[in-house]
Amino acid sequence: MFSENTCVEIGLYVYRLIDPRNGETFYVGRGRNNRVFHHASGNIDFDIEDDGVNTKLSRIREINAAGLEVLHVIHRHDMPSEEAAVEEVYDQVRYAWRIDASRASKAQFVLAVVRGVVVGAFEVARWLPAVRENFPDLLYLRPSEPTRAGFIGAPAQVHDWERFVGEHGRRIVDPALKHVQNPIRYWNI
């Protein structure tokens, strides 16, 4: 458990829970204070509406029944507020994609996925060539890349955000939807 001082210092953080039997990450979440420890031990109030709750809790119980403890890693701490974090994800995913813009323009959403977990969902207003003139608000841009595209959009509406991301990110469990070599995937959902 973190001390009170540590809780204050680390603020909002991203963590993952790992099955020690095979090294597989089975959950990625955000938390404050000692949430990671409560979650890893199965002593947390789970949202009954969350489809993955029974799976997560069952896995935690299986690990404990085997005489083991769930491993955990804190990946990032002292994160900005949720609103700032959403903006940060948006800025990271919207620029310089090597795509067919006409095909991409048919997609309703762009999902930001990190290691199999959806961390952002954005509605696209329009795709534009990835040049500085089209994206002046992005300070860290690479040089203009007119053969690539970026999008202008906004976070998905609340019900769509909940559907794709939820409070802590949703793991992609369908093997057909998992990430492959190409960072761009088109899914009919």
- Burial category of 27 from C-beta neighbours within 10 Å (exposed 0-12, middle 13-18, buried 19 and up): buried
Q: Please count the other Cβ atoms lying within 10 Å of the Cβ belonging to residue 108.
A: 10
Per-domain boundaries in the chain: 4-76, 82-177
pLDDT at 48 (0 to 100):
45
Residues pairing with 113 in the sheet: 118
pLDDT of res. 68: 95
Under 8 Å between Cβ of 101 and 110: no
Predicted pLDDT at 65: 93
pLDDT digits (tens), the chain, 189 positions = 999 889 888 888 888 888 999 988 887 777 889 989 988 888 765 554 444 557 778 889 999 999 999 999 887 787 666 665 777 788 888 888 888 878 888 888 998 888 778 888 999 999 999 888 888 777 555 677 888 999 988 899 989 888 888 877 777 777 666 655 556 666 666
Q: Is the pTM of this model over 0.75?
A: no
Chain segment 92-116, per-residue pLDDT in tens? 888 888 888 788 888 889 988 887 7
Cα(128)–Cα(137) distance, rounded to whole angstroms?
A: 14
Structure tokens at 38: 């409560």
CB-based contacts of 186: which residues, under 8 Å, 6+ apart? 103, 107
Q: What's the pLDDT score for residue 141?
A: 56
Pick the closest to residue 40 from 21, 56, 23 (CA basis). Answer: 56
Q: Which two tokens stand for residue 166?
A: 């939820």
